[in-house]
Amino acid sequence: MSFRTRRYFHAFLEEDLKRVEDRIKEVPETRVELIESIYRYVTESVGKMIRPALLLLAAKAVGEVEEEAIELAAIVELIHIASMVHDDILDEATTRRSRPTVVRKWGIEGGLLFGDFLISIVSHNLSDLNPRYTKLVSKAIKRMCEGEFIEFFYPPSVHTYLKVIRQKTAILMTLASQLGAIAGGGRAEDLIRLGRYGMNIGMAFQIVDDILDLVGDEEIMGKDGKRDIKSGKLTLPVLYALEGEVGSGKDIMSLIEERKGIEKAYALSEEFVRKAKKAIDPYKERPAWEAMMDLADYILSRDS
């Protein structure tokens, strides 16, 4: 696995994450060789596996990880990969996970069609499972698409930003936690609490992602930096810096520094992490609790 900094939650989930990774690496049956090549390419390096980790931890918070949780964890990671392949087309990104993006290698056609193919695999794999998962998964994908729509077509504001990141990022993490809660045999209240944990983790994750885009090290992140500014995407630190701004003509990075855009955005991500930790209070006695707290801390301290 390509984790730069090995964390407790990775160690805690090691065997199960390995099973998820092996499942993801199983190339789906296809008559088109090129699809196989792209599939191998995108699954070669597995990344941080945050969504599978959320799912497995939720299952462990309420019960045990069975085969169904492994399959669901592979499904959420495939949705994530598909969304990244499409997102890289929208953002004209050239690098992800330290390698050329699918769109860079196979063009818009390749990226678009491969993302569609992955979603077809998700729906195929889901059809083998209990139908109660399908509704949650399809609702989440729908909301992710809506989030991207809002981001690209609606006027930016702090309010809109929070709505967008809830939909494009936090919803998939909420889904992961909820699927894990169900697969682990949780009750309705577990679904709510663990969903809340995933949602708040997701909000903090995307804010930190947007901070890293501005000030992170491209080599460590494995993707292009300052992409948001270059493409005119107004993320939280920028929106904070521009609040009440009447065109001083100052460079945006100086404004962000002067108005403490990064610090303010980071403070909000800390607030989300605090809420995430609070949501899992009832699981303090479970062995998964410490790993869930560690994952929450990792979201704030990560550099990639």
Q: Contact residues for ligand FPP (CB under 6 A)?
A: 79, 82-83, 86-87, 91, 93, 115, 119, 141, 144-145, 148, 168-169, 209, 213
Task: Burial-class residue 112 by CB neighbours within 10 Å (0-12, 13-18, 19+).
Answer: middle
- C-alpha of 114 from chain center: 19
**Least distance (Å) between residue 78 CB and ligand FPP:** 9
Q: Of 130, 223, 250, nearest to 179 (Cα)?
A: 130
**Least distance (Å) between residue 223 CB and Mg ion:** 8
Helix (H) or strand (E) holding 134: helix 132-153
115 binds, among ligand FPP, Mg ion, none (CB under 5 to 8 A by kind): ligand FPP
Cβ neighbour number for residue 295 with a 10 Å cutoff: 24
Binding to Mg ion by residue 91, rule CB under 5 A?
Answer: yes
Q: Which is nearer to ligand FPP, 144 or 280 (CB)?
A: 144
13 binds, among ligand FPP, Mg ion, none (CB under 5 to 8 A by kind): none
**Least distance (Å) between residue 82 CB and ligand FPP:** 4
Q: Which is nearer to ligand FPP, 65 or 76 (CB)?
A: 76
Query: Who contacts 226 (Cβ-Cβ below 8 Å, separation ≥6)?
Result: 213, 214
Structural Rg of the chain based on CA atoms: 19
* Cβ pair 42, 81 in contact under 8 A: yes
* Cβ pair 173, 201 in contact under 8 A: yes
Q: Of 113, 215, 208, nearest to 169 (Cα)?
A: 208
Q: Which is nearer to ligand FPP, 71 or 209 (CB)?
A: 209
Q: Which is nearer to Mg ion, 87 or 190 (CB)?
A: 87
Beta bridge partners of 23: none
145 binds, among ligand FPP, Mg ion, none (CB under 5 to 8 A by kind): ligand FPP
Number of residues interacting with Mg ion: please give it, by CB under 5 A. 2
Q: Which is nearer to ligand FPP, 71 or 213 (CB)?
A: 213
CA–CA separation, 294 and 298 (whole Å): 6
* Cβ pair 142, 109 in contact under 8 A: no
* Token duo for residue 11: 């160690």
**Least distance (Å) between residue 54 CB and Mg ion:** 20
Q: Which residue is nearest to Mg ion (CB)?
A: 91
The full DSSP string for 230-270 is HTT---HHHHHHHTT-------HHHHHHHTTHHHHHHHHHH
**Least distance (Å) between residue 150 CB and ligand FPP:** 11
119 binds, among Mg ion, ligand FPP, none (CB under 5 to 8 A by kind): ligand FPP
CB under 5 A: which stretch of 17-25, 85-93, 101-109, 207-215 binds Mg ion? 85-93
**Least distance (Å) between residue 12 CB and ligand FPP:** 25
101 binds, among ligand FPP, Mg ion, none (CB under 5 to 8 A by kind): none
Q: Which is nearer to ligand FPP, 119 or 300 (CB)?
A: 119
199 binds, among ligand FPP, Mg ion, none (CB under 5 to 8 A by kind): none
Site string for Mg ion, 45-84 (x = CB under 5 A): ----------------------------------------
Q: Of 140, 272, 301, 268, nearest to 201 (Cα)?
A: 272
Phi/psi region, residue 245 (left: phi>0; alpha: psi -120 to 50; beta: rest), is: beta
Binding site for Mg ion (CB under 5 A): 87, 91
